[in-house]
Amino acid sequence: MPSSHQDHIAPLLTTEGWELLASLGPYSESDSLTLNSSLRKAGHSPELVSAVLTQSRLRTKAEAKFGEFARQMLFTQAGLEQATRLAVAARHAARFASAGTRHVADLGCGLGADSMALASLDIPVTAVELDETTAACATINLMPFPHASVVHSDATSVPLDGIDGVWLDPARRTTSTSGTTRIWDPEEFSPPLSFVESLAASGKSVGVKMGPGLPHELVPTGCEAQWVSVAGDVTEVTLWFNKVARPGIRRAALLLGPRGAAEITSSKDFDGGPVPEVGPVEGYLYEPDGAVIRAGLVADVALQLGGHLLDEHIAYICAPELVDTPFARAYKVLDTMPLNVKALKAWVKAHGITSLEIKKRGVSMTPEELRKQLLPGTSKPKSGAKGKAGKAATLVLTRIGDERVAVVVEAA
């Protein structure tokens, strides 16, 4: 995980730097210029002030993933973008613990989130990171854990004798002076997917975190693929091999949210599973969670709901009754119209609509484009916002066979 030239860690690895960083309160963009000036007037070098303010900003941003732990950690920009949320890392670690793993190598450990979770379960972990700056951050972040050690090395060249578990979070971005760019080909990841498969072939317990957009045809045979979403945001697909794979599960969607954890699984390969029924718009429209869609489990959820798809290629479900489910968001169907701008303009005017939320799947028209035509001079409404002296509405644009339709819905 190469670090950017903007990641100045060295000035922080001094008594002055660490104490100065610890003395700062929460980062505020509006106060940063004033703080920069006052710290330099106090005699701190421009390099140290820049490093401290950058780190303070990253720590504040990192609280979403690391909670209060972020206040004692060091980050790089690229490392934070790819770092696993601690709540998810804890689930990764629990897999290795349940499998009785004695020692885990975290290859390409980044900032050390997964190593922290493993070490907190008293599992010895060797954290390996090629980038020198990122390895320095991981060393600081893992200092509270006696079971963890950091090795500055190439993940593919570290001896694994006596190590029965391997966790990998391959670098999926390249870093340049203009920022980071996502890599899509798993063989261009560092390390590549083929290296992961070679480790699994040795019989070790192997888990690898991949981007959630991994195509089904690239998922290796003989592993469990688990897509994870956190509060509706699909964060990863993890491939589990050997002892850390659950028997009889080929694919799964794990949802973590305010209501806790919910999971739907299938023993079938990606071209198996139930054949979805297709039917009309009726009753309640369900929008499946992104992890359910990525895992190819939409038809399974439709069965649970006693519902059907509107189109076999599009992830919208309709069912006659309202069923409480963690796997999809439910809307009550109020009306259905052809997706025709002239007809929709008349509907907006007749109902006094002044604010529109527009969702879509399977049609090329963008919500922004349609909103400009139906409500000139307005922008996307804030969630739950109502138009001034009017009312808000939600439209779902989709395709049913060759027909394009607009479904008027309200949250159920």
Tens digits of per-residue pLDDT, 400-412?
Answer: 999 999 999 999 9
pLDDT-based confidence at residue 258 (cuts at 50, 70, 90): confident
Determine which of 174-178, 197-201, 293-297 has the lowest per-residue pLDDT on average. Answer: 174-178
Check residue 4 and give its pLDDT.
Answer: 46
CATH entry 3.40.50.150 includes domain 80-266: yes
The greatest distance separating any two alpha carbons of the chain, rounded to the nearest whole angstrom, comes to 73
Mean pLDDT for 328-335 is 97
Whole-structure pTM value: 0.89
Q: Which residues contact 272 (CB under 8 A, 6 or more apart)?
A: 266
What pLDDT is recorded for position 380? 59
pLDDT of residue 111: 96
pLDDT of residue 176: 65
What pLDDT was estimated at residue 177? 67
Cα angle 280, 283, 285 (rounded to 5 degrees) comes to 75
Q: How many C-beta atoms surround the C-beta of residue 373 within 10 A?
A: 13
Q: Are 302 and 287 in contact (CB under 8 A)?
A: no
Per-residue pLDDT, 189: 83
Lowest mean pLDDT among 86-90, 168-172, 255-259: 168-172
pLDDT band (50, 70, 90) for residue 263: very high
Ranges assigned E (strand) in 97-232: 104-107, 125-129, 148-152, 165-168, 173-176, 179-182, 205-210, 224-230
Mean pLDDT of the chain: 92
- Between CA 298 and CA 302 the distance in angstroms is 6
Q: Calculate what percentage of the chain has a pLDDT beyond 90.
A: 85
> How far is the CA of 359 from the CAs of 63, 307, 319, 336, 364, in angstroms?
30, 20, 19, 14, 12
Confidence (pLDDT) at 3? 46
Taking CA atoms, 250 is separated from 96, 247, 268, in Å, by: 18, 8, 6
Q: What is the pLDDT of residues 184-242, one digit of tens each?
A: 788 888 888 999 999 999 999 999 999 999 999 999 999 999 999 999 999 999 999 99
If one counts every other C-beta atom within 10 angstroms of the C-beta of residue 25, the result is 9
Report the pLDDT value the prediction gives residue 41, as an integer from 0 to 100.
96
Average pLDDT over residues 8-29: 92
Q: Quick: pLDDT tens for 124-152.
A: 999 999 999 999 999 999 999 999 999 99
pLDDT in the model for residue 398: 97
